[in-house]
Structure 1
Amino acid sequence: MVEQIVDRMSDALAAGENVKISSFGTFLLNDKRERIGRNPKTGVESPVSARRVVTFRPSQGLRDQVAGSGET
């Protein structure tokens, strides 16, 4: 069952749709533009190609629950 949910989420993201899970959070697509990056070890600059990335934005309820989990 979990695999089916993940498959549907993956299909939606691949189709360019954001995925919202109520009381959990939202998976968002961000288009990153091409830029110049730098190798931190050598300092050599090199181009980083444009790409689409997935980010996760937790719901307020999830943030509150995680923030309160350190309390005893």
Structure 2
Amino acid sequence: MTRADLIATIASRFPALTVKDADIAVKEILDAIGRSLAQGDRVEIRGFGGFRLNYRPARTGRNPRTGVTVPLPAKYAPHFTAGKQLRERVEVSVRNTPLQQAA
């Protein structure tokens, strides 16, 4: 599902909202999550999951094209952990209709 699909779904599910209103709502929610993570806070949405920051220490990487060793700096990366209800919904869905395996 893309952001545009999410906006269209919300607008169709709630007739009082226009597509523009749904767009603003989705944008505000995503911006709030981003701001919280930027401040180092954890974001938890009950029944869906949680977002937090993972610290990745500095390391040496390798350019796959040239094979040259490249130093990679330490950084914080967003990490999502699915909640119990989401994991259970996905598991039931996969059991009922198996997904295609990626090639």
TM above 0.5, yes or no, is: yes
1:5 to 29, 32, 54: 29
Q: CA deviation at 1:42?
A: 3.3
Look up the SS of the partner of 2:88 in the other structure.
helix
Farther-moved stretch of structure 1 (1-10 vs 46-55): 1-10
Query: How far, CA to CA, are the matches of 2:64 and 2:93 in structure 1?
Result: 36
Q: What corresponds to 1:44 in structure 2?
A: 68
Structure 1 spans left out of the alignment, 5+ residues: none
Give the superposed CA RMSD: 1.3
Structure 2 spans left out of the alignment, 5+ residues: 1-24, 98-103
Equivalent position amino acid for 2:67 in 1: G
Q: CA deviation at 1:6?
A: 1.2
Look up the SS of the partner of 1:69 in the other structure.
helix
**Bigger share in strand:** 1
1:65 to 64, 89, 95: 89
**Bigger share in helix:** 2
Moved over 6 A (4+): none
Look up the SS of the partner of 2:87 in the other structure.
helix
Using CA pairs under 8 Å that are at least 6 residues apart, name the structure with larger relative contact order, 1 or 2: 1
CA radius of gyration, larger in = 2
Query: How far, CA to CA, are the matches of 1:64 and 1:44 in structure 2?
Result: 44
Query: How far, CA to CA, are the matches of 2:57 and 2:78 in structure 1?
Result: 14
